[in-house]
Structure 1
């Protein structure tokens, strides 16, 4: 019989995920471990070639990733990671968009299951209701019975439904604490919070991280303005608030704004400019995600870098190689640029 990836892992004394990473060649593996895996591959004459697998009667099923929007920079980076890892394994990647609609998300999960995908990958944090939670858990259970997998990337879990779903997480709340602590360290003591989508898992964790750091630094929360994760709604919401509280060109009571995404931060920057205010001279701003355009703003945006591509790639590896392994929590990174300065 032809050797399998399980045989190689056992021969080399490593996990299936490690074998996959060595074969793909796009993930750092210790030199001695890589050499041990390569030797096992050679001894067992193992082939991961998709055509060879088809000749052995193995079905090369696609993977799917469902995005809120195909144009969102964070979604696009996650999808790139999924597609790249799927391509390296000789699989195609199917992409669907939900438009942020809970019912559409459920419909697409079922549709992808019927299409025979091996894994359905979802960004985290897009739903909160118990009904949606339970219906998604049923989908996870159905997929698991068929040997397929539902994978969440981010702060969304099926916490009371066993291990039917896979969670790939990053330090979402920790990143919010880091960036809020940076603002406090700069001397800001009255801070406006704009975490993003109300009642969304991602925004809730970021808001909690902001508040923890502000409290630890004896800083005051000026208030919370709820808006979506998008630029224009954030601009409109802050501009309306500024017009209510201060004349054009006058500094507001808060000296900094902590934003739940870079897109929100861009909207905040637009609103400040329209109200005759400067960043960071009058108000400092932070973002979250480190989308490609964050460094091109004027001023360049201080933000948190999230490894979205690695999240997507890890989701594929976990689903295909070792669904019950503990993937841990991917770290995030504080990126300090020019949009935060000490308050006057």
Structure 2
């Protein structure tokens, strides 16, 4: 039996009118009461008045974009491309926005991600684009799946951009409904980078990875491992010793991770970084240790962010077409592009070889 507004009111210990006010967002409600109502909505998995909500979402001018860090060029490029798809043709004055884009900065927090989705549901958002890797936590995955099911049931289009298709975290497989995915080939890109270093002659290849709980980190590590395992020189113990989790996708993670790596495995002749920003920290730590790039140690990043071609030396990396991915996600969110077969489209990668990688020094 479907959960009703009265059920939510009884669960929260308030009147049905109070529940209605909280969900509409048009009337002031005390913070503690609002939180109690929203908690009841979550616990009962209440879907807000399906047909009416779907009608409201269909006529809404709001599109939400969730990013981990708006200051990170990776997310800024994607968000800008999504927003660019919201512009229609003006009357002699250039393009004009067709929808209002709201960028929600989660800071990588699973709790903030869920909270923003609740707020966007209350505002009857027409569409939501979730960007970046997902947190691999069964409890969070289940909560996120439930939240997205309710949004889809209310008529909101949902697009995942840069993350794999969502599983409910309980063995239920992909979440059904109006949920589309624009994914990156992170495994293939990492494998291509590692194969490039192996072909140059490197056998002591370090890896400063991102946060262990992120899907992006796991997929890139899997690609790296696949390339190593396929090579005749593969040594599992060495590969494990040469892998360090930097704890983030920022410069300081690369710096600290490389210091750990050099202490643990001073024989390292090449370092793969979780992304291009991490690679900058890797380079800083190597220079501090008196090592030259690439004469002593080669360095490679991932994503091909705008600064990579201007780094010194210029950075070997894997190019992900972030602009294309964001634009495609925007069109899917607006319904101006037909959905891909099976609801999932994977964007390819390109290996970009620059000056930061070279054959290892003699004896490396």
- 1:219 CA displacement: 4.2
Q: Secondary structure at the match of 1:65?
A: strand
Deviations 1:25-80, CA, capped at 9 Å, x for gaps:
xxxxxxxxxxxxxxxxxxxxxxxxxxxxxxxxx83522111111110010111111
Match of 2:217 in 1: 203
- 1:323 CA displacement: 6.8
Counterpart-to-counterpart distance in 2, 1:236 and 1:330: 31
Unaligned 5+ segments in structure 2 are 1-57, 89-96, 168-172
2:83 corresponds to 1:90: no
1:140, 1:149 within 8 Å by CA — same for their partners in 2? no
Task: Tell me which of 334, 345, 350 is aligned to 1:328.
Answer: 345
Deviations 1:212-239, CA, capped at 9 Å, x for gaps:
1122233442521101111112202322
Counterpart-to-counterpart distance in 1, 2:182 and 2:80: 16
Q: How does 1:7-86 map to 2 (within 5 A)?
A: 59-86=59-86
Q: How does 1:61-210 map to 2 (within 5 A)?
A: 61-88=61-88, 90-159=98-167, 160=173, 161-210=175-224
2:128, 2:333 within 8 Å by CA — same for their partners in 1? no
- 1:193 CA displacement: 1.2
Q: Secondary structure at the match of 2:223?
A: helix
The number of residues matched between the two structures is 281
- 1:182 CA displacement: 0.8
Counterpart-to-counterpart distance in 2, 1:254 and 1:163: 48
Counterpart-to-counterpart distance in 2, 1:303 and 1:71: 20
- 1:295 CA displacement: 1.0
Counterpart-to-counterpart distance in 1, 2:199 and 2:260: 29
1:256, 1:285 within 8 Å by CA — same for their partners in 2? yes
Q: 1:241 to 1:191 in 2, by over 3 A?
A: closer
Q: 1:219 to 1:300 in 2, by over 3 A?
A: farther
**Structural RMSD (CA):** 1.8
Deviates more, 1:219-228 or 1:110-119: 219-228
Task: Tell me which of 212, 217, 223 is aligned to 2:242.
Answer: 223
Deviates more, 1:282-291 or 1:158-167: 158-167
Counterpart-to-counterpart distance in 1, 2:70 and 2:180: 23
Please report the TM-score for the alignment, with normalisation by the length of structure 1: 0.77
1:318, 1:325 within 8 Å by CA — same for their partners in 2? no
1:98, 1:104 within 8 Å by CA — same for their partners in 2? yes
1:184, 1:219 within 8 Å by CA — same for their partners in 2? no
